[in-house]
Amino acid sequence: MQNPADTEAAAPLAQNIRRTLIASATVMASGAPLASIIPNPAIAEETKMTAEQSADLVRRAYHAFNTADLDLFTTLSADELSWETPGTSPIAGLRQGRDAVYGQYGTYLGGTDGTFKAELHYVTADKEGRVIGVHRNTGMRMGRTLDSMCCITFKVKDGKILSGKEHFFDLYNWDQFWA
């Protein structure tokens, strides 16, 4: 039998979890782009940013990428930016430094004659500067069509993106597109 005091103490936590789950389900079901679910918007010691600010930074970075606005992306990313792309295609690997990462982005855009897009569907963040962006990649290349879901795990600190790591829902499709 449960102690009534334990039940009373757990009630606020259970209500908070329930609100978070309902909010998550509502946002995911709506399909609304640029939605953000922030479980705790407290300012983290490490990042000096709220979770919402970190999520907004990533939203702006998606916009900068999709509009090829390198000036904006430069203001949003750290000099020591790193980017990791999985797989076996020629573009797989770890890029370190903003110039190397920009080279990777150039391959995405140049290798598709500018048709590559990352359509943001969902962003979530925590108070430690970890952000996840879920998006749909589309593009055309050498008679092949890319239409693949992806998520990127970002690390954000002090108003700058430090790293991004891509995770493809269908890595085989991604690799075949870039082969």
The whole-number pLDDT of residue 49 equals: 87
Residues 77 and 11 in one domain: no
109 and 54 in one domain?
yes
Region 159-166 average pLDDT: 96
Say whether both 56 and 23 belong to one domain: no
- Check whether residue 58 and residue 143 sit in a common domain: yes
- Where do we find the tokens 């209500």? 15
Over residues 98-122, the pLDDT tens digits come to 999 999 999 999 999 999 999 999 9
Residue 19 clears pLDDT 60, i.e. is over it:
no
pLDDT at residue 21 tops 70: no
Q: Is the pLDDT confidence value at 20 over 60?
A: no
- Whether residue 171 contacts residue 87, with contact meaning beta carbons closer than 8 Å, is answered with yes
What pLDDT score does 84 carry?
A: 97
Domain count for the chain: 2
Q: Domain of 59: which CATH number?
A: 3.10.450.50
pLDDT at position 6 over 70: no
Q: Are residues 24 and 53 in the same domain?
A: no
Statement to judge: residues 11 and 48 lie in one domain: no
**Band of pLDDT at residue 47, cut at 50, 70 and 90:** low
Residue 115 phi/psi, 5-degree rounding, is -85, -10
Q: Clarify whether residues 56 and 69 are in a common domain.
A: yes
Do 91 and 174 lie in one domain? The reply is: yes
Share of the chain above pLDDT 90, in %: 70
pLDDT tier, 42 (very low <50, low <70, confident <90, very high otherwise) = very low
Q: Is the pLDDT of residue 71 over 80?
A: yes
- Nearest alpha carbon to residue 129 among 45, 59, 61: 45
Long-range contacts of 42-50 (CB under 8 A, 24+ apart): 42/127, 43/127, 44/127, 44/128, 44/129, 46/128, 46/129, 46/157, 47/127, 47/128, 47/129, 47/156, 47/157, 47/158, 48/158, 49/129, 49/156, 49/157, 49/158, 49/159, 50/127
Residues 26 and 63 in one domain: no
Cα gap 129→164, rounded to integer Å = 12
Residue 118 sits in the same domain as residue 173: yes
Average pLDDT on 135-142 reads 96
- The pLDDT value recorded for residue 125 is 95
Average pLDDT over residues 32-52: 53
Residue 6 belongs to what domain range? 1-30
> 136 and 97 share a domain?
yes
Query: Are residue 146 and residue 106 in the same domain, yes or no?
Result: yes
150: β partners? 135, 168
